[in-house]
């Protein structure tokens, strides 16, 4: 039960909405029931508040978005806003979920934050589908396995008396068997190991995490004791925690925004224009080894590209080198994908290619084939 000195969801939402005071209150929050403090990092080159207000005015039977009038934000016009969301879902069984969220626009460049104190189901069945429906105007960033590991390391460095103990991982594993019909297996794994060991083992087993669920522990009288702080970090810019929000904000959320902004900046401006003399600006994914020395790997990549959701893949050449034309049906961005070097995938933006779409193609390759290092392609 919250004491008089604790913050509650209502006091957090009612107080000042400037970031330092929000962080302060969130750090002192006492959660009730299944509530967790949750944050989503989302990129947008548009005004996120305007997009949400547009959703509010459109409205539908299934999704209702309403901006909550807030006297405290009166002095910060356009900076912070609070919304409520109700979403109905389910076919056989009609269900609904509702909750409130605070939107902090443009915290770092084009990176926005959405903060909410709700049960996890609000995220999975309410807010996450709403944000996905606004793609490509709202784009969720993705993080590599190395970046995910860095978030955990940051947490450990910031709190050296404690250790991040991973309790559950949601991962994908590349199937090596040549006759496997699926290219990867998804699995939920329960564990109780320190984060470094979990990430090392994942690398050795060719696995990569979609999310990790962890607990902060500390050594007491030679035994590991719980700090009662639990959290989840997802590959797609999401964090939830039960305590110590300030710690996670600086060690996880801020780096998420930094990586996300850097990636967005790297991928943007690749549409061919008069000013760039219509010269394409290709992006390469580099691998540390010659992964394409076997034709089977090129075949695997091709099969993966053909499974690009909400898009198409036209094959111009499949073997021994790869050349396909990808079209993203969300915003009709197009890019050619080539394998011309044994350790590299080359992505050549076509006449119009948005950064959101490039991110989606790269994320698709990272997630379903393997992660590599992004870079400029120069002769």
Partner 1 sequence: MASPAPKPKYDHTRTREDCDNYYNTVLAALALINVVRWDDADRKLDPDSKFGVGRRMTTSDKNPISASTNITPDIVLQRKGTGLIGEITNSLTEKNEHWIEKLKQVRKYDDALRGWWTKDENLDLHDIAFIVQQSRAVRVADLLTKEKRSKKGEIKFKRPAAVIGFNRHSGATKEYVDLMKFFGDLSDADLSERLRHGIPVPQNILLEVYGDRKFVDFEPPTAYVLQLMWDTVFPSYLSEFPMDAANRGRTLLTVTVDRISDDMQKNFGFKVEDARDAEVPARTWIKKALEHLVIFGMAGRTDEKTYQIQYRSLRGDHLEYFGGLIFKNKSKLDLLAAPLQPMLPGIGAPLPPHTPPGLAGTSSAQRSDVPKEPPTA
Residues forming the site for partner 1 (CB under 8 A)? 272, 278-280, 282, 290, 306, 312-317, 320-321, 323, 325, 327, 329, 332-334, 336, 338, 340-344, 346, 348, 350-352, 377-379
Minimum separation from the CB atom of position 280 to partner 1 (A):
5
Nearest to partner 1 of 123, 287 (CB atom): 287
Phi, psi of 207 (to 5 degrees): -110, 155
Nearer to partner 1, 6 or 290 (CB): 290
Q: Is 343 helix (H, G, I), strand (E, B) or coil?
A: coil
Residue whose CB is less far from partner 1, 169 or 333: 333
- Strand 223-234: give its sheet, edge to edge: 63-68, 81-89, 95-108, 111-118, 36-43, 238-241, 223-234, 207-220, 162-174, 184-194
Instruction: Provide CB contacts within 8 A for 316, sequence distance 6+.
Output: 323, 324, 325
Q: Is 107 left (phi over 0), alpha (psi -120 to 50) or beta?
A: alpha
Nearer to partner 1, 28 or 306 (CB): 306
CB closer to partner 1 out of 216 and 339: 339
CB 62 to partner 1: min, Å? 18
Smallest distance, partner 1 to C-beta of residue 378, A: 6
CB of 44 to partner 1, least distance (A): 18
Measuring CA to CA, how many Å separate 22 from each of 9, 27, 114?
11, 8, 12
Q: How near is the Cβ of 264 to partner 1 at its closest, in Å?
A: 20
* Least distance between partner 1 and beta carbon 129 (Å): 21
Instruction: Return the number of other C-beta atoms located less than 10 Å from residue 340's C-beta.
Output: 13
> Which of 299, 361, 367 is closest to 329 using CA atoms?
361
Closer residue to partner 1, CB minimum distance, 97 or 285: 285
Instruction: Measure Cα distances from 73 to 15, 201, 205, 261 in Å.
Output: 9, 47, 49, 26
Biggest alpha carbon–alpha carbon distance for the chain: 69
Task: For the CB of residue 356, give the shortest distance to partner 1 in the complex, in Å.
Answer: 14
C-beta of 51 vs 334, nearer to partner 1:
334
Task: Tell how far CA 93 is from the center of its chain.
Answer: 29
Shortest Å, Cβ 333 to partner 1: 7
* Shortest Å distance, C-beta 15 to partner 1: 42
- CB-nearer residue toward partner 1: 8 or 271: 271
Please state the length of the chain: 379
Cα separation, 165 vs 195, in Å, equals 6
Q: How far is the CB of 348 from partner 1 (least distance, A)?
A: 6
Q: Is the CB of 103 or the CB of 361 nearer to partner 1?
A: 361
Contact 210, 233 (CB under 8 A): no
Tell me the C-alpha distance between 21 and 169, whole Å. 33
Contacts made by residues 105-110, CB under 8 angstroms, sequence distance 24+: 105/47, 105/48, 105/49, 105/78, 105/79, 105/80, 107/19, 107/257, 108/254, 108/257, 108/258, 108/260, 108/261, 109/261, 109/264, 109/265, 110/43, 110/44, 110/45, 110/261, 110/264
Q: Which of 2/318 has CB closer to partner 1?
A: 318
């Amino acid at each position: 039960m919250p004491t008089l000195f604790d913050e509650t969801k209502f006091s957090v939402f009612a107080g000042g909405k400037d970031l330092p005071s929000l962080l302060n209150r969130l750090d002192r929050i006492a959660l009730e029931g299944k509530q967790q403090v949750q944050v989503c990092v989302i990129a947008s080159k548009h005004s996120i508040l305007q997009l949400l207000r547009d959703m509010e005015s459109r409205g539908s039977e299934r999704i209702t978005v309403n901006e909550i009038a807030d006297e405290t934000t009166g002095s910060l016009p356009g900076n912070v806003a609070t919304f409520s969301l109700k979403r109905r879902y389910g076919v056989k069984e009609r269900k609904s979920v509702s909750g409130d969220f605070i939107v902090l626009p443009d915290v770092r460049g084009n990176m926005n934050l959405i903060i909410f104190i709700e049960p996890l189901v609000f995220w999975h069945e309410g807010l996450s589908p709403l944000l996905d429906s606004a793609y490509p105007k709202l784009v969720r960033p993705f993080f590599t396995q190395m970046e995910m590991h860095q978030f955990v390391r940051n947490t450990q460095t910031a709190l050296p008396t404690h250790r991040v103990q991973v309790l559950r991982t949601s991962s994908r594993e590349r199937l090596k068997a040549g006759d496997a019909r699926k290219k990867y297996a998804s699995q939920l794994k329960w564990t109780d190991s320190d984060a470094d060991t979990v990430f090392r083992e994942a690398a050795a087993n060719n696995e990569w995490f979609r999310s990790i669920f962890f607990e902060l522990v500390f050594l007491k009288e030679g035994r590991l004791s719980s700090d009662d702080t639990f959290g989840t970090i997802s590959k797609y810019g999401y964090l939830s925690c039960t305590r110590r929000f300030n710690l996670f904000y600086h060690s996880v959320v801020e780096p998420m925004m930094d990586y996300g902004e850097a990636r967005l900046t790297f991928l943007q401006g690749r549409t061919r224009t008069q000013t760039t003399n219509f010269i394409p600006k290709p992006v390469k994914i580099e691998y540390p080894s010659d992964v394409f020395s076997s034709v089977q790997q090129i075949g695997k990549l091709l099969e993966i590209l053909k499974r690009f959701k909400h898009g198409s893949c036209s094959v111009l050449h499949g073997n021994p080198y790869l050349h396909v034309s990808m079209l993203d049906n969300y915003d009709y961005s197009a890019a050619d994908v080539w394998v011309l070097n044994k350790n590299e995938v080359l992505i050549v933006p076509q006449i119009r290619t948005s950064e959101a779409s490039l991110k989606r193609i790269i994320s698709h390759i990272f997630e379903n084939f393997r992660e590599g290092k992004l870079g400029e392609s120069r002769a």
